[in-house]
Amino acid sequence: MNRGDSLARVLRVLLAQGTVPRSKLGQRVFEDLAGLVESGVLAVVRKGAGQRIEVIDPAALAAFAKRHFPTTLEDPENDQPISRSLAVQLWRNAKRGGDAGGEPVLVRGFGLTTLRRGTEFLPVAELTRKAGLATFLLKEGEEYWAPAVGTDTEVNPGLGATVAVVENLEAFLRCEALPIEMDMAVYAGGRLSGRVLKWLGSPAFASCLLLHCGDYDPVGLDEYLKLKSTCPNRVRLLMPENLEQMIRDFGNSGLLARSAGVLARIRETDDPDVRRVVGWLDQYGRGLEQEIFLLG
């Protein structure tokens, strides 16, 4: 149970019973309640040999709890991460809270590619032509956007689309120059987040080929293996015909030195493409950044 869950459970007891023994609280949760004690919403009262936390202002406590833990209060089985705003109030550190409520995802589409969610359509290819890219907010608990081809009135949601997962920003913004054909590109931003991995591994992408386009170094190969593990049988590593020559001529030894631990781990894989690339990394003592393939 995370710290936010513990606080939510204590608030639920206080709202229902009006009091809770101090001995039932961990020190961290007791510290979290200090602001409510200082503001007079709660009070620490001695009872016999111990102490109890008692509610002084039920309305203020209910408003506080509902503002920060609305889902948890309505459904005890649906605990939610503590918000970053509350983390600032409690601990003066937003990073100790959960996520911001969603994650922006950047995509680019080509041809007639669109994203479909139920009866809604996001015209990715059209937005890419007009604005360079499309974006949406990926949230937990919402139906996923799924790749499709067509118009709002004629869509084939079963498209066997090729979706490129592109590691670096310039390569994503200029992905048309990469040596592949694709229907859509997703910006990975370095390492893929757990939320985006879950989206790519969902049934929304069941009919798609996912092509991992990253750096040819330990981190890039590790990301490919992570994506492949999440989406078995439908992930391929981009392997340009001149990859070995490019590693030899334009590689950087620092890409290996900075990721020695990751390199040791990926040596254990039985993936034939990764083993082939690792052989070249060892042979030439350098890794290769994907932007070199934008030159054509």
Picking from 46, 74, 96, the residue at the C-terminal end of a domain is 96
Name the one residue in this structure whose structure tokens are 């015909």.
Answer: 241
Asked if 41 and 159 sit in the same domain, the reply is no
Asked if 147 and 232 sit in the same domain, the reply is yes
Q: What is the pLDDT of residue 93?
A: 63
Picking from 96, 129, 158, the residue at the C-terminal end of a domain is 96
Query: How many separate domains does the chain show?
Result: 2
Asked if 21 and 46 sit in the same domain, the reply is yes
Asked if 78 and 134 sit in the same domain, the reply is no
Q: What is the pLDDT of residue 153?
A: 41
Picking from 96, 115, 134, the residue at the C-terminal end of a domain is 96
Asked if 133 and 198 sit in the same domain, the reply is yes
Q: What is the pLDDT of residue 127?
A: 97
3-state secondary structure 105-135: EEEEECCCEEEEECCEEECHHHHHHHHCCEE
Asked if 65 and 147 sit in the same domain, the reply is no
Contact predicate 184/107, CB 8 Å: yes
pTM for this predicted structure: 0.70
Asked if 211 and 82 sit in the same domain, the reply is no
Asked if 62 and 199 sit in the same domain, the reply is no
Alpha-carbon gap, residue 204 to 224, rounded angstroms? 19
Domain containing residue 39: 3-96
Asked if 79 and 183 sit in the same domain, the reply is no
Alpha-carbon gap, residue 220 to 217, rounded angstroms? 5
Q: What is the pLDDT of residue 96?
A: 54
Asked if 114 and 130 sit in the same domain, the reply is yes
**What CATH code is carried by the domain that includes residue 78?**
1.10.10
CB neighbours of residue 281 within 10 Å: 22
Mean pLDDT per block of 10 residues along the chain (296 residues) reads 67 86 84 86 85 89 78 49 60 58 90 91 95 93 82 49 95 95 94 92 92 96 96 94 96 90 92 97 96 90
Asked if 149 and 92 sit in the same domain, the reply is no
Asked if 113 and 50 sit in the same domain, the reply is no
**What CATH code is carried by the domain that includes residue 236?**
3.40.1360.10
Q: What is the pLDDT of residue 64?
A: 84
